[in-house]
Structure 1
Amino acid sequence: MSLKVYNTISRTKEVFVPLTPGKVNMYVCGPTVYDYIHIGNARPLIFFDVVRRYLQASGYDVKYVVNFTDVDDKLIRKAEQIGSTVPEVAERFIEAFFDNTHSLGIKDAIHPRVTENIGEIVAFVQSLVDKGVAYESGGDVYFRTSKFPEYGKVSHQNLDELQFGIRVEVGDLKENPQDFVLWKSAKPGEIFWASPWGNGRPGWHIECSAMVHKYLGETIDIHGGGQDLQFPHHECEVAQTESLTGKPMANYWMHNAYLNINNEKMSKSLANGLTVKDILTKTSPQAVRFLMLSTHYRNPLNFSDDSIKQAESGIERLANSIANVKHRLQNAAADSAEVDAELAKAVEAIDAYFRQKMDDDFNTPDAITAMFELAGEANRYLQHPSVTKASLELVLRQFETIDDVIGILPKQEEVLLDEEVERLIAERNEARKQKNWARADEIRNLLTAQGILLEDTPQGLRWRRK
């Protein structure tokens, strides 16, 4: 089965054909770094991390760019509030971004900053002015939306229907209210850069167009982001980029749907925003990834205490299954090279199912289902009185193959028991031999309080950390 991707512009699933065989250029809009990233930011970051991982697992060389908007009205206001500077605010929250994303298992990308690309942005704006699709007015520079007949093709609206968001302000300096700003003149005391139109800074939309052009080229394979970016941000990106190049900006536009908090839209008015930083003090990063990927990316996702608990439970089931396989592997015959034929057939079918679902517009919920199917097959095989080393290793490799893409399994760290815990386990074993069940249970409870869980299995006692 060929990989199919839902393209926002065509509103259909299309067979994925990269511009260059074996290579994929991919850009996803990153955060404005004036605060800690919230759980809504985490959804596209996690999902598109999985897209990148699956493309790589499918043999593609992926060049992946996620930008930082490190100068903006919000950063200026934040700097004023805390008595700092815009660069200092940006640096603080970029560092926090990496702390959060690394915890969530999100691999680093190319991360350009707006302030590192001012020259390219100014040159891009100047080219649009030279073509007559942009104009200067009062020190600001605006894009003439009337010069781009396809304006609205990303959000599937026409100019009469479009609702203008906070970053497409209606102002007296514009020729038309639909026109959007490319360069903003600096107000007194604001951070600025020199330009042909006076001191100022870039508008929001032009930043991504310039960085896509610089780092990936005139046309890229995939441009992604949250559904909230379809308009105005991506709409404006397309207009200004394609007006300059005369070529498609991206062949595939991908957008994840909204994330709700307790069945309500996350908003400042409801004061229900949750930062990743705070969430990770209450639950594991793997549970957050699990929850984010348990709903198809084009469907709305609800974040709640119950949904996180379900995710935690799912992670625990998978982790226990893998721990049981590893425990049994310790006692499997070293020369047992044969793979159980029935198990091999089941694992092959699970792998095929996993790839089929990921090839169908990155169906991560069914990819997770494949992992639970694998856990079920593993648990059934472990009921056999005799198992082979090769069979157990096959199961572990398949877990690894799937998790290399979705990244939801906790890292298995070897933790040594200290002398006191070892003594207690030995004492418990002796108590069981003496049929002193009360003392055995007492020791189990004591170890549990210390974060050590004991499990009696047909192959002997095993333990694990909470």
Structure 2
Amino acid sequence: MTLRLHDTAARAVRDFTPLRPGQASVYVCGLTVQGPPHVGHVRAAVAFDVLRRWLTEGGLEVTYVRNVTDIDDKILAKADEHGVPWWAWAYTNELACTRAYDVLGVLPPTYEPRATGHVPDMVALVERLVERGHAYAVDGDVYFDVRSFPEYGALTRQKVEDLEPAADTDTDDRKRDPRDFALWKAVKPGEPDTASWPTPWGRGRPGWHLECSAMAGRYLGPTFDIHGGGLDLRFPHHENEQAQSRAAGDPFARYWMHNGWVTLGGEKMSKSLGNTALVDEVVRRVRPVELRYYLVAPHYRSTVEFTDAALAEAGAAYRRIESFVQRAAERAGRDTPTSLPAAFREAMDDDLGTPAAVAVVHDAVRAGNTALADGDDAALTEALGAVRGMLGVLGLDPLDPHWAAGGSTDDRLAGVTDGLVRLALEQRQAARARKDYAAADALRDQLTALGVQVEDTPQGPRWELTR
């Protein structure tokens, strides 16, 4: 594997060389569970899932960490607004995030630490920063002193004097510099007792940036290979992560990768703007595998405009692939050895070039359809193996057990649908066996009207949803 990554910090494409031979360590910022996830949230999870699969395909053992931020100002505010305990609000939305990851075929991380489970690690990191002269305490709050660390701003190539004041605290009058950011926040009047922990500086809770540095260090050590996340996290979150970790003496991330936004009406999809498309809602009208295809097909660094028309186009493209795989598997078998064309490898090695990689998939599908029409079993087997191999890397193989039930958000509903269609097909087959062709045709017409396309094959009837 010669994987070239667009390293955000270096602003250049660099060949990826793992820190330890045969292993790769990846940390991706998970979600702050203040609410259920929208499509923009899960794009990072899907993009870095493809990265993980490609690293694994390259023979690397991947340790993949994706955290959960379950204590935060916004979580406390939302929970108070809805009259529920903050931890209950956080856990409810954490379950919604897990459901979204699962329904889109995102592999579970090696570790998925919660911020609230790692407060001792965070306190220890703050103590190191205070001892080194990079942090100071004021009335229970602890701030990172940006002027004490000359490299501050290196990740995003900004000068301290050009930056706005840090927006993570209410007042700046106690700071040495308005741009100093909060490492630890003292408990405020009216906040629940359960949302604070004892420390040398008094009771309080961690700052957002501190959480990720502490958890990355806990699971991946002082230095690791790749840090990923959404483009909106570059500043201040990732800039502050890098500064506090390096100021504490840890080299931290060796490569930085950031995925582009999903926009709606030309603006970044966000809860604050109200222009969201919740995953739970979208997968009620679009199959999850088609939504995943929609997110995977563009380059991970590109901006994706979320529209119904684009979703429909992606769904149609995926169904063409799916139809070939299903028809070819019926003829060539489901156990066909998989392979990866050289053009696909070249595309993926070029900074995870999924647009070119997906084009290779469609080329192989066209070749396979020709082989099907010509009855060329050798060419068909080769095309099927290539298509399934490539789709496996992208997490889109229709024959993967994850998608076998149609990728519904409710497996029981998918099972019922499959059972009812098969029952109708059995009734149709029985009508044909007794030569009641009128009844058989009527059953097929009824299924067609419901959006179920039936195709008769030598192995028996097969069906697929057309809408």
**Structure 1 CA distance for aligned equivalents of residues 422 and 322 of structure 2:** 23
Bigger drift between 439-448 and 18-27 goes to: 439-448
Whether contact under 8 Å (1:259, 1:303) holds in the other structure is: yes
Whether contact under 8 Å (2:425, 2:461) holds in the other structure is: no
1:57 offset after TM fit, Å?
A: 1.0
Residues 327 and 174 (structure 1), Cα distance of their counterparts in 2 relative to 1, 3 Å cut? same
Instruction: State the partner residue of 1:186.
Output: 187
Which of the residues 263, 267, 271 maps onto 1:264? 267
Give the alignment's Cα RMSD to 1 decimal: 2.6
Bigger drift between 211-220 and 75-84 goes to: 75-84
Instruction: State the partner residue of 1:98.
Output: 98
What pairs up with 1:305-454 in 2 under 5 angstroms?
Answer: 305-329=308-332, 351-385=341-375, 387-388=377-378, 392-410=380-398, 411-412=403-404, 418=422, 420-427=424-431, 442-449=442-449, 452-454=452-454
1:412 offset after TM fit, Å?
A: 3.6
1:424 offset after TM fit, Å?
A: 2.1
Q: Deviations over 1:337-383 (max 9, x none)?
A: xx9xxxx9xx97x6111111111111112222221112111101111
**Structure 2 CA distance for aligned equivalents of residues 84 and 419 of structure 1:** 46
User: Does the alignment pair 1:462 with 2:461?
Assistant: yes
Amino acid across the alignment from 1:311: A
Residues 108 and 123 (structure 1), Cα distance of their counterparts in 2 relative to 1, 3 Å cut? same
Whether contact under 8 Å (1:168, 1:178) holds in the other structure is: no
Residues 140 and 424 (structure 1), Cα distance of their counterparts in 2 relative to 1, 3 Å cut? same
SS of residue matched to 2:263: strand
Instruction: State the partner residue of 1:172.
Output: 173
User: Does the alignment pair 1:240 with 2:244?
Assistant: yes
Whether contact under 8 Å (2:262, 2:306) holds in the other structure is: yes
Whether contact under 8 Å (1:286, 1:409) holds in the other structure is: no
Q: Deviations over 1:41-80 (max 9, x none)?
A: 1111100011011101111011110001111111111221
Whether contact under 8 Å (1:428, 1:440) holds in the other structure is: yes
Gapped regions of structure 2 (runs ≥ 5): 406-414
Bigger drift between 270-279 and 159-168 goes to: 159-168
Residues 359 and 420 (structure 1), Cα distance of their counterparts in 2 relative to 1, 3 Å cut? closer
**Structure 2 CA distance for aligned equivalents of residues 365 and 230 of structure 1:** 24
User: Does the alignment pair 1:214 with 2:218?
Assistant: yes
**Structure 1 CA distance for aligned equivalents of residues 451 and 56 of structure 2:** 37
Residues 269 and 113 (structure 1), Cα distance of their counterparts in 2 relative to 1, 3 Å cut? closer
What pairs up with 1:249-288 in 2 under 5 angstroms?
Answer: 249-268=252-271, 270-288=273-291
User: Does the alignment pair 1:112 with 2:113?
Assistant: yes
TM-score (norm 2): 0.89
**Structure 2 CA distance for aligned equivalents of residues 186 and 2 of structure 1:** 49
Residues 22 and 182 (structure 1), Cα distance of their counterparts in 2 relative to 1, 3 Å cut? same
SS of residue matched to 1:171: coil
Instruction: State the partner residue of 1:139.
Output: 140
Amino acid across the alignment from 1:406: L
**Structure 1 CA distance for aligned equivalents of residues 196 and 271 of structure 2:** 29
Residues 464 and 65 (structure 1), Cα distance of their counterparts in 2 relative to 1, 3 Å cut? same
Whether contact under 8 Å (1:226, 1:258) holds in the other structure is: yes
SS of residue matched to 1:160: helix
Whether contact under 8 Å (1:155, 1:230) holds in the other structure is: yes
SS of residue matched to 2:196: coil
TM-score (norm 1): 0.89
User: Does the alignment pair 1:124 with 2:112?
Assistant: no
What pairs up with 1:289-304 in 2 under 5 angstroms?
Answer: 289-304=292-307
Residues 418 and 296 (structure 1), Cα distance of their counterparts in 2 relative to 1, 3 Å cut? closer
**Structure 2 CA distance for aligned equivalents of residues 371 and 165 of structure 1:** 46
Residues 295 and 418 (structure 1), Cα distance of their counterparts in 2 relative to 1, 3 Å cut? closer
Whether contact under 8 Å (2:166, 2:180) holds in the other structure is: no
**Structure 2 CA distance for aligned equivalents of residues 223 and 30 of structure 1:** 11
Q: Deviations over 1:270-318 (max 9, x none)?
A: 4211211111112111111111112111111111101110111011101
Amino acid across the alignment from 2:260: A
Amino acid across the alignment from 2:253: A
Instruction: State the partner residue of 1:52.
Output: 52
Residues 208 and 460 (structure 1), Cα distance of their counterparts in 2 relative to 1, 3 Å cut? closer
Residues 430 and 320 (structure 1), Cα distance of their counterparts in 2 relative to 1, 3 Å cut? farther
1:220 offset after TM fit, Å?
A: 0.8
**Structure 2 CA distance for aligned equivalents of residues 121 and 174 of structure 1:** 21
1:326 offset after TM fit, Å?
A: 2.1
Instruction: State the partner residue of 1:82.
Output: 82
Residues 236 and 98 (structure 1), Cα distance of their counterparts in 2 relative to 1, 3 Å cut? same
SS of residue matched to 1:233: helix
Gapped regions of structure 1 (runs ≥ 5): none
**Structure 1 CA distance for aligned equivalents of residues 460 and 397 of structure 2:** 23
1:440 offset after TM fit, Å?
A: 6.5
Instruction: State the partner residue of 2:27.
Output: 27
1:405 offset after TM fit, Å?
A: 1.5
**Structure 1 CA distance for aligned equivalents of residues 101 and 277 of structure 2:** 15
Whether contact under 8 Å (1:454, 1:461) holds in the other structure is: no
**Structure 1 CA distance for aligned equivalents of residues 9 and 98 of structure 2:** 32
Whether contact under 8 Å (1:315, 1:409) holds in the other structure is: no
1:386 offset after TM fit, Å?
A: 5.2
| Equivalent residues, number | 445
**Structure 2 CA distance for aligned equivalents of residues 440 and 165 of structure 1:** 70
SS of residue matched to 1:117: helix
**Structure 2 CA distance for aligned equivalents of residues 398 and 258 of structure 1:** 31
1:259 offset after TM fit, Å?
A: 1.5
Whether contact under 8 Å (2:299, 2:353) holds in the other structure is: yes
Instruction: State the partner residue of 2:412.
Output: none
**Structure 2 CA distance for aligned equivalents of residues 430 and 383 of structure 1:** 31
